[in-house]
Structure 1
Amino acid sequence: MPSAIDSSALLSRAAELIDLARKAGADQADAVVVRSRSRSVSVRLGKVENTEASESDDFSLRVFVGRRVASVSANPGFDLKQLAERAVAMAKVSPEDPYACLADEARLARSFPDLDLYDPTEVPTEALTEAALAAEQAALSVAGVTNSSGAGASAGSGGLVLVTSHGFSGSYIASRFGRSVSVIAGEGTKMERDYDYDSRLYVADLDPAELIGRRAGERTVRRVNPRQVDTGSNVTVVFDPRIARGFVGHIAGAINGASVARKTSFLRDRMGQQVLKAGLNITDDPLIVRGSSSRPFDGEGVTGERMVMIEDGVLKHWFLSTSTGRELGLETNGRGVRGGTSVSPASTNLALEPGEIAPEDLIRGIGNGFYVTELIGQGVNMITGEYSRGATGFWIENGELTFPVSEVTIASNLKDMFMRMTPANDIDRKYGVAAPTIAIEGMTLAGR
């Protein structure tokens, strides 16, 4: 990656596009450029399989004519005047949308905090290759590992340029570096696969490739010769932190204002009520320095603040963009995200705040139960909360992880799961969703 990324030319081009849209008849408009740069290397069994590089600046223009709105996208090199006229013409024949609008001018960010999101370090392709090979070799060196599914390393950046017709102009860029490896243990029909990875904004913060490889190998070998266990209706299930992050994502989906407006969330009528066990807190903070999902402003130019979305188990806020907020009779809380030509709300640096108990003590106190390391399938109904997914992991016996388990299904309802979960204290905040080990009581396990 270059040592610096200058967005001034893109800001000027976006501003010109806004002016042309206004001259073509738009009452309001915003122009966005989504920037992306990436390079990656993938290897398998000591040989490079693929090397990729990509670079793009994708423009989109959104125009408002009264309550009518239209959006168009284009790649660099397009004719500005033609694009603006096309967007306005589309808006004039579009149906009215009572909620679509720009963010309130009073809510626009006027200063941008330095969140330290960009690492200018240029990682040569040769160094990416070396890291991928080192991760794979470390995994293959673990006794019991029999094959490789491949390893990879990547470096890149992504960012946003935004200009609006009511005075906002800003940009930001964030770097991203990653390493991953997946290997196989066992033979024939008894093969098991697992993986490990790391992803950071700064390359120096990445776990060493050898450590990632060793963890992947050890995780894989532990899964060999799994068993089924008996069906049970009152089983305590423990989610490994890697799985717990996905579970917290279900909470985020249930309190997304867009889902509430569409009536596709089982928590849509629960504002101000107890939705998690007392004492539990869900936070969201877009302004964490070097945070994986930090940003100085959202996709509409609004600065978000740290929010306690669920406090002491009580639901306090939805994730809101401007249009979603208007539909619900509320104001945006700076969670708007550009997706193509649209804006929708989403979380930033989301966290289920940790408890006070160590994961080992949490497991020890369970006695017998099921520790989940992988989930299979998409059996989650966000309208009703019904939850049923295939799972693999380890049986907990007398407070200790014992033999590997596979070919079982865990089931419950998210409403009940939220009220029965206990978090440990081992949270890792390096990803956009952070969660500690979680124990959930009273689940159904379908086995043999």
Structure 2
Amino acid sequence: MSSEIDSAQLLSRASELIDLAKAAGADAADAVVVRSRSRSVSVRLGKVEGTESSESDDFALRVFVGQKVASVSANPGFDMKTLAERAVAMAKVSPEDPFVCLADAERLAKSYPDLDLFDPTDVPTDDLRETALAMEAAALEVNGVSNSSGSGASAGMGGMVLVTSHGFSGSYMATRFGRSVSVIAGEGTKMERDYDFDSRLYAADLDAPDLIGRRAGERAVARINPRQVPTASNVTVVFDPRMARGFVGTIAGAINGASVARKTSFLRDRMGEQVLKAGLNVTDDPLIVRGSSSRPFDGEGISGERMTMIEDGVLKHWFLSTSTGRELGLPTNGRGVRGGNSVSPTSTNLALEPGDISPEELIASVGTGLYVTELIGQGVNMLTGEYSRGASGFWIENGKLAFPVSEVTIASNLKDMFMRLTLANDIDRKYGVASPTIAIEGMTLAGS
């Protein structure tokens, strides 16, 4: 991976695209170049299964003619004048959209911080292969592991160049390094699978291969000989941090302005009301140095700020882009992400802020319940809040993990679940969504 990424040429081409669009009849325009570079190696049972490498610079031009908009995309080498003329011609015959527009000029970032998102470390393909092999070997050494589902290591970078017709020009790049391994424990009909992984912006921050492999093997072995438990109501379910992150993602989806505008969120009428248990806070911060989902500006050229989306359980903000904000009568909060001819809001570094007790203390306080380490299916209705998903994990007995459990379903309504959360203090902020271990009282468990 090159230690120096020169975006000057891409900025120049994007600016030229804007000028050509204006000359072709556009009232306004923006141009984006999404740059990506990646290498990965996958292995299984000590042999390389695949080596992949990819590079791309994808151009997208969005043009506005009055309240009509169109977007076209192309790879390097395209004829810019033809592309600009085609985009304007498409816009002229498109239906009007009363909300689509560029961000207000006064909101554009005049400067933006260096968030230390780029690691110039060049990881050779041979090193990726050796890392993948080492992870798998460590996992297979765990007593009880019987097979491998594969191991992989990757290195890459991604970023964007953005130029608008009303004064914004900027770019940033971020690197990404990853390691993962999945193995099988047990034999015959009693086989169980589990995995472990790590993903960081800086290669030196990654967990060691043998540690990742050992954790994957131990997780798989712990699941051998699962039992079923009887159906019960009013069960306390504890989500381990891996599953809890997905649950926090559900919270983010419910407070996304696009869902609110479409009336597809069960929280759409709850602004200013208590939606989480009192004392709980959900934060979002795009400006964390070396943050997994940090960005110095969003897809419209606006620098976002740290926000407490839910404060003391009370809903304070939606995630907003300019067009979504206009539809809801609110200003953008710099959460826009470009996609095709639209900009949609999304979270950045999202966190359900932790509680004060250790996960061991939290589990002990439950007494009897279910500790979930895997969820199956997509049984979440964001319109009504109904929640029903297959689950596996461990039964909690006398405040401790007692035996593995599988083939159960947990169900409730997110409105109730949000009000019954208890949080541990073990938050890990290395990913774009962060959550501690969480316990949710009063769920229904469908078992044997």
TM class by shorter-chain length? over 0.9
Q: 2:232 matched to which residue of 1?
A: 232
DSSP 3-state at the match of 2:297:
coil
What does residue range 187-336 of structure 1 map to in structure 2 within 5 Å? 187-336=187-336
DSSP 3-state at the match of 2:35:
strand
What does residue range 345-424 of structure 1 map to in structure 2 within 5 Å? 345-424=345-424
Partner Cα distance (2:173, 2:112) in 1: 12
The aligned amino acid for 2:417 is M
Partner Cα distance (1:298, 1:422) in 2: 33
Q: CA deviation at 1:55?
A: 0.3
Q: 2:119 matched to which residue of 1?
A: 119
Q: CA deviation at 1:340?
A: 3.4
Q: CA deviation at 1:386?
A: 0.2
Unaligned runs of 5+ in 1: none
The aligned amino acid for 2:393 is G
Partner Cα distance (1:343, 1:53) in 2: 29
What does residue range 33-112 of structure 1 map to in structure 2 within 5 Å? 33-112=33-112
Partner Cα distance (1:273, 1:232) in 2: 31
Partner Cα distance (1:282, 1:365) in 2: 24
Identity of aligned residues (%): 84
Partner Cα distance (2:365, 2:284) in 1: 30
The aligned amino acid for 1:122 is D
The aligned amino acid for 2:415 is K
Partner Cα distance (2:45, 2:210) in 1: 15
Any conservation in 2 of the 1:261–1:327 contact (CA below 8 Å)?
Answer: yes
Structure 1 length as normaliser, TM-score?
1.00
DSSP 3-state at the match of 2:139:
helix
Indicate the RMSD between aligned Cα atoms, in angstroms: 0.4
The aligned amino acid for 1:435 is S
Any conservation in 2 of the 1:73–1:341 contact (CA below 8 Å)?
Answer: no
Partner Cα distance (2:112, 2:286) in 1: 12
Q: CA deviation at 1:338?
A: 1.3
Any conservation in 2 of the 1:236–1:441 contact (CA below 8 Å)?
Answer: yes
DSSP 3-state at the match of 2:360:
helix
Any conservation in 1 of the 2:69–2:341 contact (CA below 8 Å)?
Answer: no
Runs of 4+ in 1 over 3 A off after TM superposition: none
The aligned amino acid for 1:10 is L
Q: CA deviation at 1:433?
A: 0.1
Any conservation in 2 of the 1:394–1:401 contact (CA below 8 Å)?
Answer: yes
Partner Cα distance (1:340, 1:417) in 2: 35
Partner Cα distance (2:280, 2:120) in 1: 38
DSSP 3-state at the match of 2:207:
coil
Partner deviation per Cα, 1:385-408 (whole Å, 9 max, x = no partner): 000000000000000001000000
Q: CA deviation at 1:112?
A: 1.4
Partner Cα distance (1:264, 1:186) in 2: 43
The aligned amino acid for 1:32 is V
The aligned amino acid for 2:2 is P
Partner Cα distance (2:272, 2:178) in 1: 40
Residue correspondences, number: 448
Q: CA deviation at 1:66?
A: 0.4
Alignment pair present for 1:439 and 2:439: yes
DSSP 3-state at the match of 1:35:
strand
DSSP 3-state at the match of 1:128:
helix
DSSP 3-state at the match of 1:51:
strand
Q: CA deviation at 1:339?
A: 2.0
Partner deviation per Cα, 1:277-306 (whole Å, 9 max, x = no partner): 000000000000000000000000000000
Partner Cα distance (2:151, 2:372) in 1: 24
Any conservation in 1 of the 2:426–2:436 contact (CA below 8 Å)?
Answer: yes
The aligned amino acid for 1:90 is M
Q: 2:131 matched to which residue of 1?
A: 131
Partner deviation per Cα, 1:292-343 (whole Å, 9 max, x = no partner): 0000000000000000000000000000000000000000000000123421
Alignment pair present for 1:425 and 2:425: yes
Any conservation in 1 of the 2:21–2:84 contact (CA below 8 Å)?
Answer: yes
Any conservation in 1 of the 2:236–2:366 contact (CA below 8 Å)?
Answer: yes
Partner Cα distance (1:269, 1:291) in 2: 32
The aligned amino acid for 2:214 is R
DSSP 3-state at the match of 1:102:
coil
Partner deviation per Cα, 1:399-441 (whole Å, 9 max, x = no partner): 0001000000000000000000111000000000000000000
Q: CA deviation at 1:189?
A: 1.1
Any conservation in 1 of the 2:71–2:340 contact (CA below 8 Å)?
Answer: no
Any conservation in 2 of the 1:235–1:370 contact (CA below 8 Å)?
Answer: yes
Any conservation in 1 of the 2:283–2:350 contact (CA below 8 Å)?
Answer: yes
Structure 2 length as normaliser, TM-score?
1.00
Any conservation in 2 of the 1:38–1:55 contact (CA below 8 Å)?
Answer: yes
DSSP 3-state at the match of 1:226:
coil
DSSP 3-state at the match of 2:113:
coil
Partner deviation per Cα, 1:198-244 (whole Å, 9 max, x = no partner): 00000000000000000000000000000000111100000000000
Q: CA deviation at 1:378?
A: 0.5
Partner deviation per Cα, 1:343-393 (whole Å, 9 max, x = no partner): 100000000000001100000011000000000000000000000000000
